[in-house]
Amino acid sequence: MRTALTLMFVIGVSSGAAAQPVELQSVRPLCAGLLEARSIAESHGFLDFSAEIETGDDLAPNDGTMHVRMGPQYVVGRIDFAGHVNVNDSTLRRAFTLRERELFDVGQLRRSLARLNDIGLTAPVTLADVVVTKRDDGVTADVTIPLRKRSWRSWSLSGPIVPGLGSYQASISSRLPVWSRGVVGASTYLVTLNVLALAAPSLGVLRILSKAPPVVLERPYLPGQEWLSGFAVSPRLSPWTTVAHYGRTHVGRGLHTLLDDESKQTLAVPVVGAGRPEGEFVVCEAEESRWRWLRRGAVYAIDIALGAAGP
């Protein structure tokens, strides 16, 4: 399917193979329309969205024709995860909002990858890592997510800048092996040892400022299993403290989802035509919100407040 739109634009020239961003102020209407058109197309299963500006020496400097092309609509066939021997398949699939046998929504794929990375069971995955295989029927596309192992053991030093607004910790964490599936899937649990809490009394004030329990069994927040995750248990934690930790985790995650910035999107549109040199592009970037700094500050303030309220 092909549609043609006549638009006013300013050409940005790039030398070499890589496209360089142009001044967005001059092409803002063009870029806003193109990014919105691509977003709508991708949400309806049109994976082969492309745009091209056709111009030539006989046209005025700021005149040209925009050609937008879209191929057939695709539905999702199989979603496969490769290289996840230490992670239950069900845990990965519950994090995905892209569904099999539904329209191939690229926006949902991006959201699914972000949720998958939030789990932290594998190395981060980007959209460029995903393998999309189109079947011969021309309307079905399979998705393969390559996963890389990451260390299941970690150590950390943490604490508030101002003493008293939280707890100091020197901790060592490790995930449990894969023993079972679902909510009791052991690989989704962390065992954490707080070295300061286990230290000798000779550490004095540092030990007093470490209010965290010495040993904690935790199931971190898992997208797709929200109400069955985000809790921590320990013999040193009272039932009220356990419930409060669960509530803080979910409140914090909800506010983060509301306030976090969306991923930045770009689109390079080639400029072609008789007499035009190769390597000319109009590079569109999504305009940043004027309130972005305020959202970021709110996220940091929430993290500090929740950390100060924690044990």
The tens digit of pLDDT for each residue in 273-293 reads 766 667 677 777 777 667 777
Number of neighbouring beta carbons within 10 Å of residue 140: 16
The residues near 143 (Cβ < 8 Å, ≥ 6 apart) are: 76, 77, 78, 79, 80, 98, 109, 130, 131, 132, 133
Would 247 be classed as within a structural domain?
no
CA distance 64 to 54: 6
Strand 169-175 versus strand 190-194 pairing type: antiparallel
Contact predicate 165/183, CB 8 Å: no
Q: Are residues 170 and 139 in the same domain?
A: no
What is the side-by-side order of every strand in the sheet holding 215-219?
A: 153-158, 169-175, 190-194, 215-219, 231-233
Contact predicate 103/47, CB 8 Å: no
Average pLDDT over residues 39-60: 78
Average pLDDT over residues 121-145: 92
Q: Are residues 142 and 189 in the same domain?
A: no
Residue, of 179 and 135, whose pLDDT is higher: 135
Q: Are residues 90 and 116 in the same domain?
A: yes
Would 254 be classed as within a structural domain?
no
Q: Are residues 64 and 36 in the same domain?
A: yes
Q: Is pLDDT above 50 for 61?
A: no
Would 256 be classed as within a structural domain?
no
The two structure tokens encoding residue 174: 């490790």
The tens digit of pLDDT for each residue in 172-226 reads 888 887 765 555 677 788 888 887 766 655 555 555 556 677 888 999 889 888 8
Q: Is pLDDT above 50 for 2?
A: no
Which of 125, 146, 167 represents a domain boundary (last residue)?
146
Distances (CA, A) of 83 to 109, 123, 176, 189, 299: 19, 11, 18, 20, 33
Residue type, 91: T
Q: Are residues 51 and 119 in the same domain?
A: no
Average pLDDT over residues 299-306: 69
Q: Are residues 64 and 80 in the same domain?
A: no
Number of domains within the chain: 3
CA distance 46 to 271: 22
Residue, of 86 and 70, whose pLDDT is higher: 70
pLDDT band at 142 (very low <50, low <70, confident <90, very high): very high
For residue 104, give the CATH number of its domain: 3.10.20.310
pLDDT band at 130 (very low <50, low <70, confident <90, very high): very high
According to the model, what pLDDT value does residue 10 have? 35
The rounded Cα 54 to chain-centroid distance in angstroms is 35
- Phi, psi (rounded to 5 degrees) for 160: -75, 155
Radius of gyration of the chain measured on its C-alpha atoms: 25
Q: Which of 85, 81, 91 is nearest to 228 (CA)?
A: 91
Q: Is pLDDT above 50 for 25?
A: no
Contact predicate 92/113, CB 8 Å: no
CA distance 305 to 39: 36
Residue, of 134 and 83, whose pLDDT is higher: 134
Q: Are residues 61 and 128 in the same domain?
A: no
Would 32 be classed as within a structural domain?
yes
The two structure tokens encoding residue 188: 């989704």
Q: Domain range spanning residue 13?
A: 2-70+264-293
Average pLDDT over residues 50-59: 69
Q: What percent of the chain has pLDDT over 70?
A: 66
Contact predicate 31/21, CB 8 Å: no
CA distance 113 to 89: 15
Q: Are residues 194 and 212 in the same domain?
A: yes
